[in-house]
Chain A
């Protein structure tokens, strides 16, 4: 194998698993260390710079970082990264003075943002400090998009959302709430320099089964139900509720129904429990509120008596998987199952819809009626119009929308300056030695052995009384510190300098997880299995040195490195050093 090029920032970036997996590439270990040092405001700002909504995401993020966390490979559970983010948000002090200054003198460019969700707000957050004038349009009475309409307040208190939305709109964004944009042409006619579409995936799917029309009065689309509760248009539901679907919206629907009078609320879903789309922790929370799950039940019919919904019929199925893991649901042949109910909530997916975009504006739409959007620049075929968030490529999540927003802001800025959109700014990176003495590092190198701490919850009886009571209480400072200590500091990199190595084997002998091997070179396929511990996790890179004096090379399997620094402590010549790698995605301007 060729020596690893560590001057390419992407090598060390992928070693920081959490940050690499995060769509916005938030420097996770960096802010976790700040939390451990009780520097909550700084930790909050590191987050805010990167993901814009630390308080919101610290409660509701889909957490792609956590399944990626190295800790999950070393022991059982990853670091509770998401909930640590909330510790920073909950304990921060005044940070207004740390926000970017908004120039009084504007740069003369005007931008329209359609939809006030996370993608649009991120564009505003990045462009306002550059002197842009921004008009933000949304049909709802307040900003936040799906974070307000779809995430129930018992998971995300309104004050938390308001604060983080207002931080952005207070930069001087001209908000046009309660304004439904019915025509993109009208917006384009207002001579904006660029238009950003961040309207999400606003249409909940329906199930057209026999009886659908007759039972209409008692069937609601999940996200519409959640929105009507959020905006206080609805405050009650029948005692017996069936929630159809197995995603996070279904979990939010059943838990909301439990708070609005639902006593017998059931989740009914086609797929087996393990295949459900909902995040495991959201399934846990729903089950903790006495919601039973009926898996492998395919909806067949709405049963209507005397013009009123009586219940639904389901066909029982079994999941079969072929050699490629492709699933098919095969009916068991049993009789249809009948569940009585007063109301049905339909949470079987969302889709995009753009009835308000005229089709003669040079914006290409594909056969699924989705706009053609560039995956890097987020520009549509009409150079002035950009898309981001769920509106760009279909339903994802908040953190993905934020990542889109940052990139779209870069594109809009380049576009307004007349520069090429494909020449993207390189990330900001830094690599600094942490050595302070023979056994001293400027990071806490000791590996804590604690298992993951559970987040305290409010008492169920109390929480079910009022949909405004937040269920998760978050870590307090003490628990937050303990959980923060579980972080392995994967951003403190083991950096190897061949010229200094005397091949004494000390690093190889001391490594607790035996990830360093000195061996003759070979091809990757041949090399991986013959390391001291075979490097079987192909998703994790090998760090390869140049040829050493004896003709061997140093191979380090990055998979389960604890970043404990012992290799560097035991190195007599400082051929190994622990160096903190900082990587941040460059923003517009």
Chain B
């Protein structure tokens, strides 16, 4: 019997520039169902952070409630974490980010936590353009309460009991595009080749980065008739292209045919290189992205990959002009300058 993962690792395990192995980015062993898509996403986050050589103490993981929101325990065991109230992860992330703008924020949520109970919070965190990565682990059902249809379940998709869903789904990618997210992507838990570079790009992006990851629930939503089972998703994927993420320090070696590649240089100098599947796809045109997502949806396809990126976006700190120095590093005296200062501010407003 083993709920224990041996500490032995590959004797020649690869190390990143910090001298960490992939296993140094692990968390506790998962208690989710065997084969859960969420575990693959955790592994992809581990892989992305390992490859980017992120210092674990520079990351804060935030989540709400649900199977997806349990997963921050299963990756980056040496990072900060906050498991908040159902649907309220965006508020906690906002507070944390305002207090310490220097950390890297990874929010993990699910389709229930975001598209139902947390819909209002989600809309506003996108609108505020908080500098964070917001991952929705989207399985189209409430796995923790035995698989009821969630707000992202497609019309006509069958539950495990055989009942068809009657309601229109909320498409979170379209929502994020409309609400002004500056990085929007969609992927599939079963496709790390695509998911890992997208995560790396999202982490490196300055601004609000949203990734909707379709993540099959093996226990309650992996049967024929469901539109979020492994097989259906694989059969209906249509990627905007292949994403290569090139960190700032590295030289771009691979070059593809002109016109087929769209290079997007990020804030920190690193490059997202999109090898496009369709020539007319432009990942920096919000309106066109929204249209392409809708068109694919009409065709019954799931458009994945990098959908939209805006590298000039301002995050909340620039919008409200906060101090460069994180608030949490200031003393009480600096944060509460006293009644005289208050008086001066009030005076200026009279």
Q: Which residues of A contact B (CB under 8 A)?
A: 73-75, 438-441, 445-447, 449, 502-506, 508-510, 512-515, 533-534, 536, 549-550, 560, 562, 564-566, 569-573
- Is B231 interfacial (CB-CB < 8 Å)? yes
Give the dominant DSSP class at A's interface.
loop
Q: Which chain B residues border A550 with CB–CB below 8 Å?
A: 234
7 further A-B contacts with Cβ under 8 Å, apart from A449-B7, A512-B8, are A502-B231, A504-B36, A509-B42, A515-B10, A564-B6, A572-B218, A573-B35
- Chain B window 205-219, contacts with chain A (Cβ cutoff 8 Å), 1 for yes, 0 for no: 000000000001010
Q: Which residues of B contact A (CB under 8 A)?
A: 1-14, 22-23, 29-30, 33-37, 39-40, 42-43, 189-190, 192, 216, 218, 222, 230-231, 234
Inter-chain contact B39/A514, CB cutoff 8 Å: no
Inter-chain contact B40/A509, CB cutoff 8 Å: yes
Inter-chain contact B12/A536, CB cutoff 8 Å: yes
Q: Which chain A residues border B216 with CB–CB below 8 Å?
A: 504
21 pairs from A and B in contact (CB 8 Å cutoff): A74-B8, A439-B1, A439-B3, A447-B8, A502-B35, A502-B230, A503-B190, A503-B234, A504-B37, A504-B216, A505-B40, A506-B39, A506-B40, A512-B5, A512-B9, A536-B12, A562-B8, A566-B2, A569-B2, A570-B34, A572-B218
Inter-chain contact B2/A439, CB cutoff 8 Å: yes
A74, A447, A505, A569: which contacts B11 (Cβ < 8 A)?
A74
Interface centre among A439, A447, A509, A565 (most CB of B within 10 A): A509
B4, B22, B43, B231: which contacts A446 (Cβ < 8 A)?
B4
Q: A504-B218, A570-B34, A572-B33 are in contact. Are A533 and B39 (CB under 8 A)?
A: no
B4, B8, B30, B190: which contacts A505 (Cβ < 8 A)?
B190
Q: A509-B39, A509-B40, A509-B42 are in contact. Are A438 and B6 (CB under 8 A)?
A: no
Give the dominant DSSP class at B's interface.
loop
Interface centre among B5, B35, B222, B231 (most CB of A within 10 A): B35
Inter-chain contact B34/A506, CB cutoff 8 Å: yes
Bound CA span A562–B3, Å: 15
Q: A445-B2, A550-B234 are in contact. Are A513 and B8 (CB under 8 A)?
A: yes
Q: A509-B39, A509-B42 are in contact. Are A565 and B218 (CB under 8 A)?
A: no
B1, B11, B14: which contacts A441 (Cβ < 8 A)?
B1
Distance in angstroms from B185 CB to nearest chain A CB is 19
Q: A506-B34, A533-B12 are in contact. Are A514 and B1 (CB under 8 A)?
A: no
Q: Which chain B residues border A573 with CB–CB below 8 Å?
A: 35
Distance in angstroms from B49 CB to nearest chain A CB is 14
Distance in angstroms from B24 CB to nearest chain A CB is 13
Inter-chain contact A510/B10, CB cutoff 8 Å: no
Inter-chain contact B8/A75, CB cutoff 8 Å: yes
Bound CA span A547–B230, Å: 17
Interface centre among A73, A75, A505 (most CB of B within 10 A): A505
Distance in angstroms from A556 CB to nearest chain B CB is 13
Inter-chain contact A504/B40, CB cutoff 8 Å: yes
Q: Which chain A residues border B42 with CB–CB below 8 Å?
A: 509
B23 nearest CB neighbor, chain A only: A512
Distance in angstroms from B238 CB to nearest chain A CB is 15
Inter-chain contact A514/B10, CB cutoff 8 Å: yes
Q: Which chain A residues border B230 with CB–CB below 8 Å?
A: 502-504
Distance in angstroms from B245 CB to nearest chain A CB is 18
Distance in angstroms from B31 CB to nearest chain A CB is 11
Q: A440-B1, A504-B218 are in contact. Are A447 and B10 (CB under 8 A)?
A: no
Q: Which chain A residues border B192 with CB–CB below 8 Å?
A: 505
Interface centre among B9, B33, B34, B216 (most CB of A within 10 A): B34
Q: Which chain A residues border B189 with CB–CB below 8 Å?
A: 504-505
Distance in angstroms from A239 CB to nearest chain B CB is 48
B3 nearest CB neighbor, chain A only: A439
Q: Which chain B residues border A513 with CB–CB below 8 Å?
A: 8-10
Inter-chain contact A560/B40, CB cutoff 8 Å: no
Q: Which chain A residues border B29 with CB–CB below 8 Å?
A: 510
Inter-chain contact A505/B1, CB cutoff 8 Å: no
Inter-chain contact B34/A569, CB cutoff 8 Å: yes
Q: Which chain B residues border A570 with CB–CB below 8 Å?
A: 34-35, 39
Q: Which chain B residues border A510 with CB–CB below 8 Å?
A: 5, 29-30, 39
Pairs A-B, 5 closest by C-beta atoms: A572-B35, A509-B43, A447-B6, A504-B35, A572-B218
Q: Which chain B residues border A73 with CB–CB below 8 Å?
A: 11
Inter-chain contact B6/A533, CB cutoff 8 Å: no
B74 nearest CB neighbor, chain A only: A509
Bound CA span A438–B190, Å: 23
Bound CA span A531–B272, Å: 24
Interface centre among B8, B22, B39, B218 (most CB of A within 10 A): B8
A445, A506, A512: which contacts B35 (Cβ < 8 A)?
A506
Bound CA span A565–B5, Å: 10
Distance in angstroms from A509 CB to nearest chain B CB is 4
A71 nearest CB neighbor, chain B only: B8
Bound CA span A505–B41, Å: 10
Q: Which chain A residues border B33 with CB–CB below 8 Å?
A: 572
Interface centre among B9, B29, B218 (most CB of A within 10 A): B9
B234 nearest CB neighbor, chain A only: A550
Q: Which chain A residues border B12 with CB–CB below 8 Å?
A: 533-534, 536
Distance in angstroms from A70 CB to nearest chain B CB is 11
Distance in angstroms from A540 CB to nearest chain B CB is 12
Q: Which chain A residues border B37 with CB–CB below 8 Å?
A: 504
Bound CA span A503–B235, Å: 13
Q: Which chain A residues border B11 with CB–CB below 8 Å?
A: 73-74, 560
Bound CA span A152–B22, Å: 51
Q: Which chain B residues border A505 with CB–CB below 8 Å?
A: 40, 43, 189-190, 192
Q: Which chain A residues border B218 with CB–CB below 8 Å?
A: 502, 504, 572
A503 nearest CB neighbor, chain B only: B190
Distance in angstroms from A78 CB to nearest chain B CB is 14
B215 nearest CB neighbor, chain A only: A504
B33 nearest CB neighbor, chain A only: A572
Q: Which chain B residues border A74 with CB–CB below 8 Å?
A: 8, 11
Distance in angstroms from B216 CB to nearest chain A CB is 7
Interface centre among A445, A506, A550 (most CB of B within 10 A): A506
Q: Which chain B residues border A438 with CB–CB below 8 Å?
A: 34
Distance in angstroms from B47 CB to nearest chain A CB is 9
Inter-chain contact B1/A445, CB cutoff 8 Å: yes
